[in-house]
Structures are given as structure tokens and as C-alpha cells.
Structure 1
Amino acid sequence: MFRNPYVRTIVISRLLLQLGIWVRNFAILLYVTDLTNNDPQAVSWISVAEYAPIFIFAIIGGTFADRWRPKHTMVWCDLLSSLSAIVVLVALMFGPWYSVLLGTLVSAVFSQFSQPSAMKLFKQHVPGEGLKGVMAMFQTLVAVFMVVGPMIGTVIYQNYGIEVSLFLTSVMFLLSGLVLSRLPKDEGGNVATGIRGSFHQELAEGFRYVYANVALRALVMTFAVAGLAAGLIQPLMLFVVIDNLGQDKTFLQWLLMVNGAAMLVGGAIIMSTAKKLQPQVLLAAGLLISALGTIMMGWSTNILLTMIAQVINGFFYPWIHVGIQTMIMRNTDTTYIGRVGGAVTPVFMGMMVISMSSAGYLMNQLNLTTVVTVSGVLFLAGAFILLLMLPKGKGVSGSHVMRSSE
């Protein structure tokens, strides 16, 4: 896979981006909790700032990704993200603490234009039988940074503060853009081939395309429920550490490192066995096991049991990621990659933002264990929805896809 210049270059770019993102995210988390005395509402708003733009801009970004040159789009998104980190750094020096959320928000917006462009390049330049392997490799990269990212982010923040953390984030984004500039020149001129009509027409075609595809319709319904589940647990991991385990907030890095190590192992196994399992099986199994791991984590007050739950969730997370990405890639024509991602992703992100914004309130009104248990039950419901809506054998071919000529 590394012989492919597109895979090799984008992997290096993502390595730099992951480093910058982890330094920024952990610095912001620790900075906000220091200033607000571990306020659950403030912590949940960090997650909202990270994911709300994905919900809002994924549709727009996916449609434009089908129109624009992918290399050009990705380079400019990284350069603008780098600039935004510097702007936030300046704003923080003269403004309120919540200025730090702006950097996360802006970077998330640009990612909605960059991410579908990368998927488009893979669809164009990676053979079909290699797609699951590439997706698994990228998930493994995420897992590596789940292990080392929290530690790096914590060390940099504790020793150098929020200002240096944001500056390093800007440098990493800038280097990523420079690496992507070495990609081969985009094919087909200024806009993607096969794209015609107005923006609104193309946007509507994307939704019709998803509706006409059995596998993608099942994925949308599963995404909606799984988004609610993920949004509840995302902001509350810090309070699993503080309330359930009675540890200092910096102990969160160890839970995330254990989770990341398990993701690394799970991703490696998926890379070696991906061809033997259908993507919908990977997704359903990942959701089912994650449901059990999440419920176990919510009820555990023992560090070892919580670590085991993190291992379970981490190991099966690549199954979910690879299953989702492979189902989308296999069931989508190249000219629709951006728009399909733009139509499917906001369903997950929209539900996730709704539950994230209410997670702190629900925890205050109920308790941590109850909220995390509800999250696990929702993961379980997502798996059953997928199994019920997706008949055996679907989701692996393009026979139910509406062609662009329609």
C-alpha cells in the first residue's frame, strides 16, 4: 500500500494532523477544566465546538469536494487551519477563555472539505480490493495517537501552557499542507469530471442517491442511533475518571492510552482479515460489543475493570470505522463520494451534537452511571437496526445504487 504515492503522502499528512489535533484537544481540555473547576457543562461544550461544524458543514463540504480538485482542496484546508490556530492564540491573549474553542470549531469546518477529498483520491487511485486495507491502516494510525497523543498533549500543556500548544498545532497543520502539496497534480482540470448543474441540484442528487441505495439507507438509520450514543459518552469520559474511579483528571490520558493500544491491535487484525468479513458484519459486531463495553465502563468503580472496558471498546472501534467507510466506498460511484459522505455523516454528527450538548445537563440531573448505560443501550439498538434493515448480502455491491445518468 505504501508504494501508492497517494496512500503514502496522505498517511504522512494524517500523522502530522493527528499530532497537532491531540496536542490542541488535550491542551484545551485541561485548560478549560482548570479555569472552570471541572464543570461538566463547560467540558461538554468543548465537544460541541469540535463536532457541531461537522454536522453543519459536512453536506456543503461533501458537495464541493465533488466539484473541486481534491489535492488543491486538502492543501488549502490545512493551511487555513494552521492560520486559524495562530488567530486563536492571538485572541486568547486579549479575550476570554472560550476563545480557545474557536480554533477547534474552525479546524472542524475545514476538515469537512478535506476529508471527503481524501476519500475521493482513494476511490480513484486505490484498487477496490485494497480499500478495506487502506481504511484499516488509517484507523491504526488513529489508534497509535490514541496511545501517544494524550501523553504528548498533557506533557506539552503542563510544561509549556496553552500558548505553546496552539503554536505547535499551527506548525503541524502547516507541515501537513506542505506534504500534501507533493501529491501528483489533480486530474480533470478545476472541477471534478462528471459534475454538472448547480450546487443545489448536485446537493439534491446526493440525497436521492443515498435514498435509492438499500445499504446506505440502513447506514443512515444506524448512524442516527449510534450518534446519540457516542455523543452521550464523549464529554463524560473525564467524569468516569473523577467520579467513578476517584482519580485526578490527568488519569484520563491512561484510559485513552489503553483504549488506543487496543485500537492498534484491533486495527492490525482487521488489516489482515478484512477480506474475509463483509463490512456490514464488521459494523454490527463492533456496535454490539461496544455496547457491552460502554455499559461495563459506566458501572465500574474499579480501575482494572474500567481498563478492560476500554480495551473492549478500543479493540472493536476499528471494526465500526472500517465497516462504515467500506460500505460507503463500495456502494458509491466516484462522482458521488463527497455528496454521499456529506449526506450520511451529518445524520451521525447531528445526533451526536444533540446528545453532547445535553450530556452535562443529564449528568447533573441524573447520574453518570445512568447516562453511560443509556449510551450503551443506544449502541445496541444501532446494531439491531442495521441487522434488521440490511438483508443478507446487501451492502457489498452497487446493484442498488442510482447511477448519475438517472
Structure 2
Amino acid sequence: MADTSERHDVDTSSNNEKTSPSIEPEAKISPLSIPTYRNLWTATAFSNMGSQIQVVAASWLMASLTDSPQLIALVQTAMSLPVMMFSIFGGALADRWDRRKLMLLSQTVMFCAAVTLMTATYFKWITPWFLLLFTAIIASGNAINNPSWHASVRDLIPRNILGRAVALNSMSMNLARTLGPAIGGLIVAISSAATAFLVNVLSYIGLIITLLIWRPTRDQSDIPSEPILQAVGAGMRFAIRSPYIRTAMVRGAMGGMTNSAILALAPVLVSQRYDGTALSFGFLLGGYGVGAVMGAISGGILREKWTSENVVRLGTVCIFIGLLLLAFAPVYLVSVMGMLLAGSGWVVKHTSLNTTVQLCAPRWVTARALSTYQMATFGAMVVGSWTYGFIAEYGSLSTAYFVASIILASSAILALGMKLPIAENLNLDPIKHWREPVIDIDVQLKNGPIFVELEYVIAIEDQQEFLTEMAQREHIRKRDGARAWSLWQNLEDSSRWIESYSVPTYGEYIRHNNRRTQDDLHNIKNLENLHRGAERPSLKRYLKGNPIKKK
């Protein structure tokens, strides 16, 4: 299968095409002025409130079932481990299937699990491991739901106010963290954990109804969808090979490792250091939530004036001071102050990293990129929760918090060499320059592998620049799914160069060539300009043959 016509010709009429809602660049509107986003945001806010009430009830219930700091800290592990394990699959599903239906399915699963947990608690069938199991099931539903929700926000909101929408989502969660723990602690104090679980059950209903009413429009694409495992691999490959997203992942993991100590050890802090009640535990977490709301509000303002890197550094300083206060607080109110600072710092930091990932990921891989970032962050939280629980049980609570602060300071020093980009300047809209070739044999999407070679004629004086551009081309090819990429120079004619690569199937070849973005356009044009042939670079495609062996 060969075709000597290069398919990198660019349709300039599509260069300015916008795939997200468009507004005037100078417009200063709130994402809440968009009705669909406002309805979903409001319903999600109430659902978040119920989730935070459930978190307080579960954590305090575990503290009443056991005195082991390590087992109590495992509640945080049960909430974080499913996010690490399943969020990438949730992201792959969100990029392939109807996001509304996926969110409905996950919300229904969480609703059923919450009903089961409430029933078991009411009839006193609950055990520590039963509590951990159903906490993990609810967290698994969240792991599938969240990538669809965050990716849907990008579809609903114009790019130039996407950061505000991310901040509003964070504020929604952190308003719940402010009021939810206090309400949850009050409910547990005057009634029972089962009643708090009932409130969580009811909180799902509004969001489920809103999702049933919502009728999103879906873009019709001629590009074949990927099998689920292949989609997961493509998402992880893109995130790892994208230097900006990879940096955000590493920074998120560093933050998750230390932040896990704050929430995982909070029940131990209240019950064992201060001999407190469910209500005082709720108010302690409420302090974290108040700080988180302050961080969401101030973070949005700071990001308009500072770079994301400086905002993240400020958040890190706040978390560090908060950890030190928690480690050595002589009285309860000082611990509340430490939680407030830590909550503010975490939201400022996490929201900035989350926004960076969204702005650095093309639309075809948005949900998977976010999921990979969450997998790194929450995976570190899993390790951190267990680690700090172990230190608290066999050492002391103060030692656990202090170790977390030292790890945070060390990671901040390492992060000096991993600065975040100014992602707002990237243009990741698709080029839509590629046309499927006309071929003369019957090829199915699953057939492969496909081998591709392009031949360039490069003048001697341009070869250094050509090699520089080819280094960028290698990165783009591998990021978008190419395998075995190589560059070859002709031994008989040193001006002739061959670029070659392969892909597993013909369907993957189509997807590979439709993943180019406007930000990649300069590389395509530079290579074409360096080519000195009479026509465009020669392009040949081959399908692997299967020799017939003689019997």
C-alpha cells in the first residue's frame, strides 16, 4: 500500500475553528451565567455536601469502632485508593462514551452503596472492614464520575474563562468541606452516623434528576473509537510524554503525599490528643473547609496576576505552616488554625495544577489526562495515609505531622527544577489537515501493523536545523501513538532522509493523524519549508504482509 502524495497539506480555513463555546476574548462573564453549567454546578454542590457529611460520619464511626490510628487512617486510604485505580478507566470511558450516561451510572452506583451503608449502620451490622469496603465502593463511583464531570466543564465553558470554572468547581467542593463537616458532626452528635448516611443518600437525588433532564449535544466524529484498554494506554502515554502534564503529575503526587497526613490523622488528633467529640471533629474539618474556600477565592484572583508556578509555591508555604501547627499545637484552636492554613494552601495548589492539566490537554484526551493527574495525586495519598498512620501508631501523632512537613519542604526544593508552563498561551484546537488516503486494497480498521515512511530532501546547510525539527517531530509522533520511530540518512545521497514509524492498526493510524494540534503546526510547516524536493515529501504506507509457508 503506497501513496506518494504527502498528506500534511493544511486547510487554513479550519485553523481558526473553535471546538469550545466562543465568546469575545475581552468578555468578563461568570461561568454561572451559562444555564446548563449553573444547574449541574448547583446539583453537584449539594451532592458534595452530602459526601462531606458521609466522610465525617465514616471517619468518626471508625474512631468509635477501633482505637488503632493505622486503621482509622485507612478510611482516607479507602477514599483515595479507588481514585488511583479507576480514575484512568473513568477518563478513558469519558473520552469514548456518552458522559451524561456515564455520570448517571456512577451516581446510581454510589446511591445504592450509600443506602447499603446506611442500612448496615442503622441495624448495627457495621464492622471496620465493612465500613472500609463501602467507603471504597462510593469512592470508586466518584473515580468514574469525576473525569466525565470535569471534561464536560470544558465542553460547556469557553477556554478563556475555563480557569474560573475550575475555581468554581473547587469552591463547590470546599464550601461543602466548610459546612459539611460541621453539619455532619452535629448530626452524629445529636443523632447517629446512620442519620448522617441518610442525608448523603438524599443528596444524590438532585444530581441524578439534573442529569436525567440534561440533553448535551455530542460532536459527531468520523474517527474510529478506541478499545478501552487501548484508550487507557493512549491517555497514559500522552500524559507521560507531554512535559507540561508530566510536570503537573509529579507536583500533584508530591502534594498528595503530604496532604494526606492532614485529613487521614484528623480523627486521631481530635479523639486522642483532645479527647473530643464528633462535633469538635466536624468543626476541625470545617476549619479545613473554610481555608479551602478562602483558597478558592484568593487563588482565582492570584492566578490573574501571578503565574501558576508562583501560586503553587504560595500554596505549598501555607500547607507547610499548617503541618507544623498540627504537629505542635498545644490547644484545639491552634489545630483549627493549622487546618485552615492547610486547606487554603491545598486548594490554591491543587486548583492551579488541575487547570494546567486541562489547558495542556487536547480535547480528545482531556478526561484521560485529568484522570492520570488524579491517579498520581491520589496514589500518593494512599501511600501517605498508610505511612502516616503507621508512624502515628508506632511513634507519635506529632512525629507523623512533622515528617509530613519535612517531606513537603524537600519536595518543594525538588520542584524548583520543574516549573509549570504558562498554559493559557497554548492552542490545542485540532488542525484537521489530514485526509484519509485512497487505497487499492481492502483494509479493515483492526488490520495492521501499518508502517509509514516519509522521504525528505535536505540541503547540507539546513541539516542541523532539520535534525532539531525532527527531534520535536519524534516527540509529537510518540506522544500521539507512533511506535518504532526512526530517522535514516541515505548512504549514497546524503541529502535524502527517511522518517519512519509504525502503528498497531489502520484505525490507530487514522487516530494518530487526527491528533495534531495548532501548537504542532509550526513543526509541520518548518519541515515542509526545509524540504528541497520538486514536490512535497514523499509519503508511503505499508500494511504488514503474511508470507505463505510451503508445507
24-33 or 86-95, larger mean C-alpha shift: 86-95
1:153 CA displacement: 0.7
Shift of the 122–195 alpha-carbon distance from structure 1 to 2, 3 Å rule, reads farther
Residue equivalent to 2:50: 20
> Retained in 1: the 8 A contact 2:183–2:282?
no
Shift of the 145–357 alpha-carbon distance from structure 1 to 2, 3 Å rule, reads same
The CA distance in 2 between the partners of 1:119 and 1:194, in whole Å, is: 23
> In the alignment, residue 178 of structure 1 is paired with which amino acid?
I
Residue equivalent to 1:111: 142
1:167 CA displacement: 2.5
Shift of the 45–398 alpha-carbon distance from structure 1 to 2, 3 Å rule, reads same
- TM-score, length basis structure 2: 0.68
391-400 or 136-145, larger mean C-alpha shift: 391-400
The CA distance in 1 between the partners of 2:305 and 2:81, in whole Å, is: 36
Q: How does 1:90-105 map to 2 (within 5 A)?
A: 90-92=119-121, 93=123, 95-98=125-128, 99-105=130-136
Aligned residues: 403
Q: How does 1:215-230 map to 2 (within 5 A)?
A: 215-230=244-259
Q: How does 1:5-404 map to 2 (within 5 A)?
A: 5-36=35-66, 38-92=67-121, 93=123, 95-98=125-128, 99-188=130-219, 196-245=225-274, 247-248=276-277, 250-390=279-419, 393=422, 397=426, 402=479
Q: What fraction of aligned residue pairs are identical, expressed as a percent?
A: 17
> In the alignment, residue 205 of structure 2 is paired with which amino acid?
L
> Retained in 1: the 8 A contact 2:253–2:377?
yes
> Retained in 2: the 8 A contact 1:27–1:165?
yes
> In the alignment, residue 318 of structure 1 is paired with which amino acid?
V
1:385 CA displacement: 3.1
**DSSP-derived class of the 1:307 partner:** helix
- More helix per residue: 1 or 2? 1
1:271 CA displacement: 3.1
> Retained in 1: the 8 A contact 2:247–2:420?
no
Q: Per-residue displacement from partner, 1:241-278 (whole Å, max 9, x unpaired)?
A: 34544544542222222232232223222334432233
> In the alignment, residue 22 of structure 1 is paired with which amino acid?
Q
> Retained in 2: the 8 A contact 1:282–1:322?
no
> In the alignment, residue 135 of structure 1 is paired with which amino acid?
V
1:63 CA displacement: 0.9
Shift of the 184–307 alpha-carbon distance from structure 1 to 2, 3 Å rule, reads same
Shift of the 311–161 alpha-carbon distance from structure 1 to 2, 3 Å rule, reads closer
1:66 CA displacement: 0.8
The CA distance in 1 between the partners of 2:150 and 2:421, in whole Å, is: 26
Shift of the 195–81 alpha-carbon distance from structure 1 to 2, 3 Å rule, reads farther
The CA distance in 2 between the partners of 1:276 and 1:7, in whole Å, is: 26
1:144 CA displacement: 1.8
- TM-score, length basis structure 1: 0.90
- More strand per residue: 1 or 2? 2
63-72 or 223-232, larger mean C-alpha shift: 223-232
> Retained in 2: the 8 A contact 1:88–1:102?
no
1:146 CA displacement: 2.2
1:395 CA displacement: 8.2
1:327 CA displacement: 0.5
1:391 CA displacement: 6.7
Q: Which has the larger radius of gyration?
A: 2
1:320 CA displacement: 1.1
Structure 2: gaps spanning 5 or more residues: 1-30, 429-474, 481-511, 516-551
The CA distance in 1 between the partners of 2:334 and 2:195, in whole Å, is: 36
97-106 or 363-372, larger mean C-alpha shift: 97-106
338-347 or 159-168, larger mean C-alpha shift: 159-168
Structure 1: gaps spanning 5 or more residues: none
383-392 or 211-220, larger mean C-alpha shift: 383-392
> Retained in 2: the 8 A contact 1:283–1:323?
yes
Structure possessing the higher relative contact order (Cα contacts under 8 Å, 6 or more residues apart): 1
212-221 or 87-96, larger mean C-alpha shift: 87-96
The CA distance in 2 between the partners of 1:376 and 1:398, in whole Å, is: 38
